[in-house]
């Protein structure tokens, strides 16, 4: 199977690629530094998927991967999170009654669900925590915003800036999607100097190094079971 991994920046791309030089498997990976943010991620992922399809070498799986913020205490710095739901947080309208997602306005989608059995099996081999990964346009920088996000998304374990864009591109091509994040910082008051990017990238490399047997035994045609609410 051909697998497309979309990261934001070259350091994340290289961390993922290191796993395949250490432990090559039967699958073929293309790892892309697609840019920071949902729009860049969607554009680059869609371009790669279209190019591959047109050249008769379509991808069977897309993975959004990189570092991310973790909600404490469930996702501490250095831990790994796999999304069973990829949710964009601010696609909607502000109303007198509060934020209303586009889906309640009759448009589009705000969440994508990765294949349930694949998520379960990857969590099993990597030790990743499983939950919602939020896609934000603005990195959370206060305890108040972190608490607000947890109130509106109680299953959220992490936030990052690209997952939903990658998932939208994958969905447009009918290709399943995953999101894997190495946690570099807690979601909360901004302290950029304290981000542990090296630890998060190392968690990512280690995780990708363990994926081969799980992906080999995964049946991509298996219907996706509904997740628990
Ligand atoms: O400076 C570096 O060496 C470096 C290496 C790898 C990645 C970076 C980034 O700054 C990537 C930005 C990327 O990180 C995600 N991210 C990380 N923490 C958060 C967060 O708390 N909230 C939202 N996003 C986060 C995000 O996906 C960005 O694309 C630097």
Kindly report the pTM of this predicted structure. Answer: 0.96
| Tens-digit pLDDT profile for residues 87-107 | 999 999 999 999 999 999 999
| Tens-digit pLDDT profile for residues 158-185 | 999 999 999 999 999 999 999 999 999 9
ipTM of the modeled complex: 0.92
At 228, is the pLDDT very low, low, confident or very high (cuts 50, 70, 90)?
low
Ligand 1 is surrounded, with C-beta below 6 A, by 8-9, 11-12, 36, 66-69, 136, 139-140, 159-162, 184-185, 187, 197
Give the mean model confidence (pLDDT) for residues 196-204.
Answer: 98
Are 61 and 3 contacting, i.e. CB atoms less than 8 angstroms apart?
Answer: yes
At 156, is the pLDDT very low, low, confident or very high (cuts 50, 70, 90)?
very high
* Pocket probe mutation, ligand 1, options 18, 37, 67, 165, max atoms within 8 Å of Cβ: 67
Q: Which domains does the chain have, with CATH numbers?
A: 2-217 (3.40.50.1580)
- To 5 degrees, how large is the angle CA 144–CA 189–CA 80? 100
**What pLDDT score does 227 carry?**
59
* Pocket probe mutation, ligand 1, options 44, 137, 184, 194, max atoms within 8 Å of Cβ: 184
Residue 211: C-alpha distances to residues 16, 25, 51 (Å): 11, 9, 25
Say how far apart CA 125 and CA 111 lie, in whole Å: 25
């Amino acid at each position: 199977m051909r697998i497309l991994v979309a990261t934001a920046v070259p350091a994340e791309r290289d961390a993922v690629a290191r796993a395949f030089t250490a432990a090559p498997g039967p699958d073929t990976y293309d790892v892309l530094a697609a840019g920071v943010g949902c729009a860049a991620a969607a554009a680059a992922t869609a371009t790669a998927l279209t190019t591959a399809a047109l050249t008769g070498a379509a991808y069977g799986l897309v993975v959004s991967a990189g570092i991310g913020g973790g909600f404490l205490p469930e996702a501490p710095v250095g831990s790994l999170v796999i999304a069973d739901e990829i949710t964009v947080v601010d696609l909607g309208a502000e109303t007198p009654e509060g934020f209303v997602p586009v889906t309640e306005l009759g448009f589009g989608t705000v969440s994508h669900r990765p294949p349930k059995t694949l998520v379960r099996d990857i969590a099993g081999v990597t030790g990743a925590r499983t939950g919602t990964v939020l896609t934000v346009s603005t990195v959370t920088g206060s305890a108040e915003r972190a608490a607000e996000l947890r109130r509106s998304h109680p299953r959220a374990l992490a936030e990052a800036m690209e997952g939903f864009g990658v998932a939208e591109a994958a969905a447009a091509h009918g290709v399943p999607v995953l999101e894997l994040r190495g946690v570099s910082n807690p979601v909360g008051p901004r302290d950029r100097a304290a981000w542990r990017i090296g630890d998060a990238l190392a968690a990512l490399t280690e995780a990708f190094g363990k994926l081969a047997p799980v992906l080999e035994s995964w049946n991509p045609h298996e219907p996706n079971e509904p997740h628990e609410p």
